[in-house]
Structures are given as C-alpha cells and as structure tokens.
Amino acid sequence: MALATKKLPSAKLRSAAFKRVRADHSAELAGDYVEMIADLIDERGEARCTDIAMRLGVANATVVKTLKRLQTAGLITQEPYRAIFLTVEGWKMAEDGRRKHAIVEKFLLALGVSQETARIDSEGIEHHVSTETLRAMGKFLARNGG
Amino acid sequence: MALATKKLPSAKLRSAAFKRVRADHSAELAGDYVEMIADLIDERGEARCTDIAMRLGVANATVVKTLKRLQTAGLITQEPYRAIFLTVEGWKMAEDGRRKHAIVEKFLLALGVSQETARIDSEGIEHHVSTETLRAMGKFLARNGG
DNA sequence: TTGAAAGTTTAGCATAGGCTAAGTTATATG
DNA sequence: CATATAACTTAGCCTATGCTAAACTTTCAA
Ligand SMILES: [Mn+2]
Ligand SMILES: [Mn+2]
Ligand SMILES: [Mn+2]
Ligand SMILES: [Mn+2]
C-alpha cells in the first residue's frame, strides 16, 4: 500500500460509534438504578430512596425524579412512602447488568489493576462493552485466573 | 473467613465510583470534539461545523451550541462563518485524548475483537479508563502484538 | 457579476438529570 | 398516645445536549 494511504472510516461509519455511545448513555442510569435496587433488596430486604441516594452520591429529590421515569418505563413499582420493587423486566435488566458488570470488573482485576480501580473503572466501562468484547473478556478470564 | 462475609464497600466508597462516572461524562463531549477538530485539521486542513456534525451524527445547530461552550472553556477559537481552531490547551487535550483512545482501541484489538467493534467500543470506553488501567492495557500491548 | 447552493447562525422547543427548600407522612420513643 | 425524627414528596430552579425552522453569509459557477 502506498504511503499515507491508511483507509479512514467514512463519516457515516464514524457517526455510528457516537450514536452507540449516546444510546449507551441513555440506558446507563436505568441500568445502574435497577442493579442497585436489586442489591439493596438482596442485602437488606428492601430498597429505599435514601439508600439509593447515598450510594449514588446524589440528592434524594434526584432519586425520586429518576424513579418516576423508571416506573413509566415499567422497570419498578412503588407506592407513596413505601419501598421500591422491581418488575419482572426490572429484575431481568438488573441481572443482565450484574453479569456484565461482574465480568468487566473481574477482567480488570485479571489485567492487573487494583481492587479499588477495578471497582471504580468498571462502573463506567460496563455500559460501553459490546457482546463481542464481553465474550473476549470472558475468554481472557478463562485463560487467566478467572 | 466465615460464610457470606465478603466485605461490601461502604455507601461512601460506592458513591465515589458514580461520582467519577459523572465527572467522566462531563468531560466526554469536550474531549470528543477537540479530538475530532484536531483530526479534521490534520486530514483536510480545517475543521468545519458541518463535518463535525456529520461525523458525530447530530444536527448542525447542536454543534454550534456546543462549540460556544468549548470557546467559553478556552479550548477553541472561532470567528463568525469561519473554520474552527484549537487553542494551545485544546491541542493538549486533543493529543492526550488521542493517545488514550489509541491505546484503548489497540488493546481491544489485541484482546481479539474485530476492527469494527474495537473502533466502536473504544469510543465510549476511553472516557472511563483511569491512569492505572491505561498502564495495565499498555503492558498487555507490550506483551502481545502491540 | 450575480444568483443559487452550501454552510453558519439564531430562535425556540424538549428531555434528562442535577440541585435546594419547603411541605407531608411514617415511625420510633418516652 | 403524643410527638420528635427520619423518610419521602413536591415545587421550582439550573445546565447540558438534543431537535427543527428560519434567517443570514460565503462561495462557486454560469
Ligand atoms: Mn455503571
Ligand atoms: Mn476519542
Ligand atoms: Mn469518545
Ligand atoms: Mn460513558
């Protein structure tokens, strides 16, 4: 191949990547919420607004507003002044999220980063990992101490 | 260790991860813009609004609005109806972004995913990779076909 | 040299996701 | 059982990031 003839992707192809990122981010908050609600239910029997706000590091009112959107989206159910429950669809999303999150976090550990860094970086990375990349991470884990 | 005594992080520690993700996302758009502007200047001599909009897959007016914020942030300069330039700070951010982005993309390739998937997934992942994880990816690349 | 096309800007709208402050309900304690 | 405290909700504000439609400027070609 002649000098400086590396093929560059078309604008169309490039935009596909950014569209994927924007789609990932649209789904991200819902994914983190349902995963956290599932954790709270498993760890302490119920998921409360305050606990979610604490763990996310946001104000209570922010959680309330987001929960309304999740309810509209059919992921949770709630009654005034009561704890929060996941719908069947919510549980499914939570478990898919947990599975993916766990693989990404273990993968980072196996790559050699600290527990702390794996925990923190995986919280963002998990939402941008395609099925193909997740499989590659899984294989790496199987080869190395998974 | 007794059964089911895996130590769970405190709410404070957990919230740190989400705060990092929110901070990453605040910086993300600016990072992608300056990197793209740098690419356009290198590839075709100038960065135009329309080209940015095409590559991002958003409307022209969206780009105009975002560029105003970048100008306020001191990353670009522009005059009405003219092409866009990067400030010294803008170039620095663009080059840091390129370096990180390239490592993440090559890392995914070395992990065994397709060119296409590496290109797409790295566009989101790059913004959530800490210095420590980036170093670990670099080491992996050095060991395998980097 | 003068229009038409291409590119840029402005105006106005929407939603997501943050916040604080104030009001409401439930719960625990004396 | 009364009330203080904790938890939840509502109202109202803000910024970021999308959009369309309309107006404006530059550029290119006839
Ligand atoms: Mn997450
Ligand atoms: Mn990038
Ligand atoms: Mn990116
Ligand atoms: Mn992200």
Asked if residue B70 has pLDDT above 90, the reply is yes
CA atoms within 13 Å, Cβ hemisphere of B114:
6
pLDDT in tens, B13-64: 999 999 999 999 999 999 999 999 999 999 999 999 999 999 999 999 999 9
Asked if residue B10 has pLDDT above 80, the reply is yes
Which pairing describes strands A84-86 and A76-78: parallel, antiparallel, or unpaired?
A: antiparallel
pLDDT in tens, B120-141: 999 999 999 999 999 999 999 9
For A8-34, give one letter per residue: b (16+ CB within 10 A) or e: eeebeebbbbbebbeebeeebebbbbb
Give the integer Cα–Cα distance in Å for A84 and B141. Answer: 45
Closest alpha carbon to C1' of C6, residue = B50
CA distance A4 to chain B (A): 11
A27 strand C contact, CB < 7 Å: no
Determine the pLDDT at residue A11. Answer: 85
pLDDT in tens, A17-59: 999 999 999 999 999 999 999 999 999 999 999 999 999 999 9
Under 8 Å between Cβ of B134 and B96:
no
Determine the pLDDT at residue A4. Answer: 52
Question: What structural domains and CATH numbers belong to chain B?
Answer: 19-143 (1.10.10.10)
For B57-72, give one letter per residue: b (16+ CB within 10 A) or e: bbeeeebeebbeebee
The amino acid at B61: A
pLDDT in tens, B75-106: 999 999 999 999 999 999 999 999 999 999 99
Nearest ligand, CA of residue B121?
A: 3
Give the integer Cα–Cα distance in Å for A124 and B6. Answer: 23
| Residues of B with Cβ-Cβ distance to A43 under 8 angstroms | 8
Question: Within B3-114, where are the H helices?
Answer: 11-44, 49-56, 60-72, 88-111
CA distance A8 to chain B (A): 10
For the four alpha carbons of A110, A111, A113 and A118, in that order, the dihedral sign comes to negative
| Cα dihedral: A15, A16, A22, A26 (round 10) | 150
A58 strand C contact, CB < 7 Å: yes
Inter-chain residue contact B117 with A130, CB threshold 8 Å: yes
Under 8 Å between Cβ of A130 and B120:
yes
Determine the pLDDT at residue B7. Answer: 76
Please list, in sequence order, all residues whose beta carbon lies within 8 angstroms of the beta carbon of residue B11, skipping any fewer than 6 positions away.
A51, A54, A55
Q: Point out which residues pair with A77 in neighbouring strands.
A: A85
Structure-block tokens of residue A24? 């990932």
A28 Cα–ligand 3 center, Å: 16
Tell me the pTM.
Answer: 0.95
Give the integer Cα–Cα distance in Å for A73 and A31. Answer: 12
Tokens 């760890």 correspond to what residue? A43
Confidence of residue A7 (pLDDT cuts 50, 70, 90): confident
Section A116-128 average pLDDT: 98
Strands (E), chain B: 76-78, 84-86
Give the integer Cα–Cα distance in Å for B17 and A113. Answer: 15
Section A63-71 average pLDDT: 97
**The nucleotide closest to A73 (CA, C1' atoms):** C16
Structure-block tokens of residue A80? 């005034």
